[in-house]
Amino acid sequence: MSKGAYNRTVTKRLYYLIIVIVLMVIEVLIAVYVHDSFIRPYVGDILVMGVLYTLIRVIIPERFPYLPYLLFAFATIIEILQYFDFASILDFMDSKILRIVLGSTFDLKDILCYAIGTFLIVIINHMKVDNRI
């Protein structure tokens, strides 16, 4: 890898690392301080797609056009596992971290929020490719 290519890769990773940190801070602030019926349940689920996407892009900075769709499939599978109470079946309910990751309540609206988050990622990526942002 040439020095220029290496520098571009490092720059991309830093760019996505900053974004993932900002999104995580927003998610934590929402979880701790927002107790409403719109922002916490819906905006948080939309933002989680951005968190997952930017986290993966820190690890894999090269453009991967199918990544948003794979993340949507992953989030949807997790949501479907909630329907079947997968965490209880595997006795994960004692683990706070796994309970947060897997969640506990199935809701079709969560899948809609994941779809909106995925759509926003795809639109932003297209705008970046077209040099509009």
> Which residue in 36, 44, 37, 40 sits closest to 116, CA to CA?
44
pLDDT tens for 90-121 read 766 567 777 766 777 899 999 999 999 999 99
What local confidence, expressed as pLDDT, does residue 27 receive?
94
What local confidence, expressed as pLDDT, does residue 76 receive?
97
> Angle 15-115-31 (CA atoms, 0-180°, nearest 5)?
65
pLDDT above 80 for 1? no
What local confidence, expressed as pLDDT, does residue 18 receive?
98
What would the mean pLDDT of 73-101 be, rounded to a whole number? 79
Domain ranges of the chain: 3-129
Quote the DSSP letter at residue 37: S
Helical spans, DSSP H, in the chain: 3-33, 44-59, 67-83, 86-89, 96-102, 108-129
> Which residue in 13, 22, 18, 97 sits closest to 56, CA to CA?
13
pLDDT above 70 for 7? yes
pLDDT tens for 18-71 read 999 999 999 999 989 999 999 998 999 999 999 999 999 999 999 899 999 999
Backbone angles phi, psi at 33, to 5 degrees: -110, -15
What is the rounded CA–CA span in Å between residue 46 and residue 54?
13
At which residue do the structure tokens 């947060």 appear?
100
pTM for this entry: 0.87
> Angle 75-84-43 (CA atoms, 0-180°, nearest 5)?
35
What would the mean pLDDT of 76-97 be, rounded to a whole number? 79
- Token representation of residue 128: 């970046």
What local confidence, expressed as pLDDT, does residue 93 receive?
58
What local confidence, expressed as pLDDT, does residue 6 receive?
86
